Amino acid sequence: MMSNIYGLDGEGENAAAVRAVRRGLGWDFIPATLDEARRAPRARVAVALRQKDSLLRPIRAPFGDLRKARRVLLSLLDMQLPFPVESCAVAVAELRAEGGETRGWAALARTEEITRVLAAWRAAGVDPDTLDQESLALWSEARRTLPGVRADAERLHVVAYLGHDRITFVLGRAGHLVAAHGLGMEARDQAVRVLKPYMGGGAAVWIFAGPAAATPDGEALRLAVTRAWPGEILPAPEPESFLARALARRQLSAGAYPCNFRSGDFAHERERERGVRRSWVGLAAVLAAGLLLIGVNAVWRSAAARREAAAQAELTRVTRLLAPLGAARGSEVMTARRVVEQESKRLEPVLQAGNPEALGTLRKLLDVAAEQGLIFETLRLRRDGLVQATGVAVDWRRAELSEREWAGQGIDLRMERRDEWADGHVVFNLSSGGKP
C-alpha cells in the first residue's frame, strides 16, 4: 500500500533519492534514483523547499489560547514579513501553549516560488505529493536519529547541511528549533557571520550532512565553523542522503514540525481526489446511517404494529364468540360482559329449573340428621337457600356437632335451643343464615 514512498533532495536530474521499504515492523531507507521514482506506479514523493527560498518565522502571542492564536496567526505573521502574508502559503509547523503564552513556528513560501518549484519537478517528470520545508525536515530527522539532539539541553546543536548549490544551518536546543538560515554556495564565507549571533561563546554540537559534506568546499566550511566554535561533531548516518531520508520518513510519520505546502490551491491532484473520495465516503456513511436509522425504526414500528394487530385480531375473534355482532374497538370487554350478563339473565329461569342443588342440600340435611340422631318435626327448604326446621336432638352436643358438619359441607345454618326435656333431649329450631 505504501511501498512506493520516495524522498528527493535537490532539483531535477541531480536529485538524491531515497525509497522507504518495509522491513519487519519498521521501515528501511534505501538509495534510489529519480528515474525509479518517476516510473514507480502511484509513487508518493516528498521534496523540500530550500531554506533560502522560504521562510521560517517564530510565532509569539501573549496568551495561551491556541484557538485564538490560530485566528490571529496571519496578522501576527504579517507584521514580520516584508510582503503581504496573502502572497504566501503558510504551514504551521508547531503551536504550543507555554506559560500563558503561545509559541511555535510557521513556514512560509511565496506562492510564485511554490509554483516555480512544482513546475520544475513536473518538468523532471515528478509531481511531488509533499512539498516540505528543508530546515524543518532536517531538524526533525536530527531529533529522530540522533538521541543527543533532544536530550542535551545545555548545548546548541547545529545541523549544517551542505548541498551542491547551498548551505543550510538549522539551530536548536533540547530538541526545540531556535533558528534556521540558508545561504547560496557563493555566500559560504558568510557562514560564521550568520551563526555568530546564536553562538554566544558557548560550545556547540555540530551535525554535518548533505551531498557536499565530504567535498573540499564542505571540508572548508566545516573547518571554518568548528575553528570559530569548537565542539563535538555528531556523526550523521549516511550524511549525503540525510535530507532525502528525512523527507521519506516524514511521509510515513510526520513527526515534529510537520509541513506540507501542497495544500489548498497547491494540493496534489491525488490529494484532491482523496478529499473528494473522503467526502463521498462521508456522504455515503451519513446516508447509510440515516437509512439505517429509518430502516430500524420502520422495522421496529412494523413489528410492534404486527404484534398489536395479532393481539387485536385475537381479541376480536374471542369477542365474536361471546357477542356475535362484535364490538367497537376498545369496548370489547364491556360489550361481551353485557351480552353474557343479558344472556345469563334471560336463561335464569331455565338454569334454575335445571339446578339440582336443593335436592343435594336436602340430602345433606337428612344424612347428617340421621347420623347424629336428630329428628326433624318439620322441615322446609327452598331453592333460594331458605331452610326452616324444628326437631329434637338426643342432646345439645349432638345438635351443635350437626351444625358444624353442615357448615363444613357449605350449608350455613343457625341452630337455636328451644327446650330441653327431662331425659336430656333438646328441642331445636334450625334456620338458614349461619351464626348471628
Q: Which residues bind other proteins (CB under 8 A)?
A: 276, 279-280, 283, 286-287, 289-294, 296-297, 300-301, 304, 307-308, 311-312, 314-315, 318-319, 321-322, 332-333, 336-337, 340, 343-344, 346-347, 349-356, 358-359, 362-363, 366, 375-383, 391
Q: For residue 318, how many other CB atoms are within 10 A of its CB?
A: 12
Q: How far apart are CA 107 and CA 321, in angstroms?
A: 87
Q: Which is nearer to other proteins, 258 or 391 (CB)?
A: 391
Least gap, CB of 382 to other proteins (angstroms): 5
CA 334 to chain centre: 53
Of 263 and 388, nearer to other proteins (C-beta) is 388
Would you tell me how many other CB atoms lie within 10 Å of the CB of residue 69?
Answer: 22
- Rounded CA-CA distance 126/123 in Å is 7
CB neighbours of residue 300 within 10 Å: 10
C-alpha span between 77 and 387 (Å, rounded): 115
Q: Is 203 or 276 the residue whose CB approaches other proteins more closely?
A: 276
Q: Please check whether residue 150 is in contact with residue 143, taking contact to mean a CB–CB distance below 8 angstroms.
A: yes
CB of 383 to other proteins, least distance (A): 5
Helix (H) or strand (E) holding 406: helix 396-408
> Least Å distance between CB 328 and other proteins?
13
Tell which residue, 258, 75, 273, 234, has the closest CA to residue 149: 234
Nearest approach in angstroms of CB 204 to other proteins is 54
Give the gyration radius of the chain's Cα atoms.
Answer: 53
Q: Which residue lies nearer to other proteins by CB, 251 or 319?
A: 319
Min dist CB 195 to other proteins, Å, is: 51
> With respect to other proteins, which residue has the nearer C-beta, 214 or 311?
311
Looking at the Cβ atoms of 30 and 351, the one nearer to other proteins is 351
The CB-of-133 to other proteins minimum distance in angstroms stands at: 31
In the bound state with other proteins, the residue whose beta carbon lies nearer, of 322 and 401, is 322
Nearest approach, Cβ of 324 to other proteins (angstroms)?
12
Quick check: helix, strand or coil at residue 268? Answer: coil
Does residue 34 contact residue 53 with C-beta atoms inside 8 Å? no
Residue 326 C-beta: closest distance to other proteins, Å: 13
Q: In what order do the strands lie in the sheet with 176-184?
A: 176-184, 166-173, 156-162, 204-209, 231-233
- Please say which residue, 21 or 305, places its beta carbon nearer to other proteins: 305
SS3 417: strand
